[in-house]
Amino acid sequence: MPIFDLSHIRQSFPLIEQEARSGRVYLDNAATTQKPEVVIKAVEAFYHSSNANVHRAAHHLSTEATLRYEAARDSVKNFLNAQHREEIVWTSGATEAINLVVQTYGRRFLQEGDEVVLSLLEHHSNIVPWQLLVQEKGIKLRFLEPDDEGRVSIDQIRSVIGDRTKFVSVTQMANATGDILPLKDIIERAHEVSARVLIDGSQGIAHESVDVQALNCDFYVFSGHKIYAPTGIGALYGRYELLEIMPPWKGGGEMIDRVSLHGTTFALPPLRFEAGTPNIAGVIGLGAAIEWLATIDRTSAFEYERHLRRTMVSLCQEVPGFRLIGHNEDTSILSFIVEGSHPQDLGTLLDMQGVALRVGHHCAMPLMESLKLNGTLRASIALYNTTDEVVHFASALKKAVTEF
């Protein structure tokens, strides 16, 4: 039975233990999470004992590599509760996954005058690809904009997502503020007008259970490195009936059925979208991360993370000039400014005291412009962080503000 044992979890992360012995605190988990020993060993074991290319080869190393590689696809399928394993496409991360959908579904099915709805909370990776399609296809972008309390109302959802909307692409959790959109209402409205929906789960997936069938989205993307897996690997979930009608976006080996001098026929999904030699070690590492997460009581982990964040907010409110940016309490992200202090200066002073966090616009410049901010400081929590680390952070922040 899965359990949540903080001490055991801490011991699973060699770099977190190393940082703790040096008196340092890692609170930059929204940028990338640390990796448990089982993930590090899985990647090492692949290169040490079964390194070979996957699929088609007749020798035993390739067979073993292929079995481990495809087992990871099954792990992601089960983790997301997708209906079919063929609905899981390997990518280098959420950015590539979004670009894949834009360059395949978007280019094939969106026409001049069609509308794509995003939100003001999006990471650049869910804005720029669509802007490139605007230049090519003449589509129009519209944006859901949270009110002063961080909420997107039903009325706004129904107003912005209308008869001309053909695609909706929104985040599960905003990386810059931790705000969470009402996905159920957005997806229901989009499907009322026969629009397709993509959810960027890059931030949400590590802090909420995801069931793509219950969510009823058409596409879901995430990056492995946000969920304790290696960098350079991620996944796209897509309804099979949609993947089946989408054209390939990269040409090469693996994604073909047959090639002749006169033309090419393409493989069925997911291989159609996986041209070239894949990041085999990354895939195996992602599979190991997901299998490791299955040993943890994630409901308890989620509540623990929220407890840490509430504690962090309470302590930081004692800091002169502290102002919270973002409105959702059920999040792992604390985005803030301190009036009269530059975020970059504070970030440097915190680093000098052993606290690692993120400073800047967090690849969300349109949101920052709407907030009339140049950037924020962002402390972000993972399930291996502790109350002592939160106290250390808050004390270091107070010292940076009042003593330096």
Q: What is the DSSP string of 155-223?
A: HHHHHHS-TTEEEEEEESB-TTT--B--HHHHHHHHHHTT-EEEEE-TTTTTTS---HHHHT-SEEEEE
- Identify the H or E element spanning 332: none
263 CA to centre of own chain: 37
Q: Do domains 6-30+297-402 and 41-293 have the same CATH topology?
A: no
Q: What is the pLDDT of residue 148?
A: 84
Looking at the DSSP assignment, which residues form a beta bridge with residue 198? 169, 219
Q: Where are the domains of the chain?
A: 6-30+297-402, 41-293
Residue 329 identity (one-letter amino acid) = E
Phi-psi region of 295 (alpha: psi -120 to 50; beta: other; left: phi over 0): alpha
With contact defined as beta carbons under 8 Å apart, do 198 and 219 qualify? yes
Q: Which fold has domain 41-293?
A: Aspartate Aminotransferase; domain 2 (3.40.640)
pLDDT tens digits along 339-386:
999 999 999 999 999 999 999 999 999 999 999 999 999 999 999 999
User: What does pLDDT average to over the chain?
Assistant: 96
Which residues are the active-site residues?
363
pLDDT tens digits along 227-279:
999 999 999 999 999 999 999 999 999 999 899 999 999 999 999 999 999 99
pLDDT category, 150, cuts 50, 70, 90?
confident
Examine the pLDDT at 149 and tell me if it is beyond 90: no
Note the pTM of the prediction, 2 decimals.
Answer: 0.97
**CATH code for the structural domain at 6-30+297-402:** 3.90.1150.10
Q: Residues 151-159: what's their mean pLDDT?
A: 95
Angle at 41 between CA 40 and CA 43, to 5 degrees: 70
Examine the pLDDT at 58 and tell me if it is beyond 90: no
pLDDT category, 57, cuts 50, 70, 90?
confident
Closest CA to 391 of 379, 404, 403: 379
pLDDT category, 40, cuts 50, 70, 90?
very high
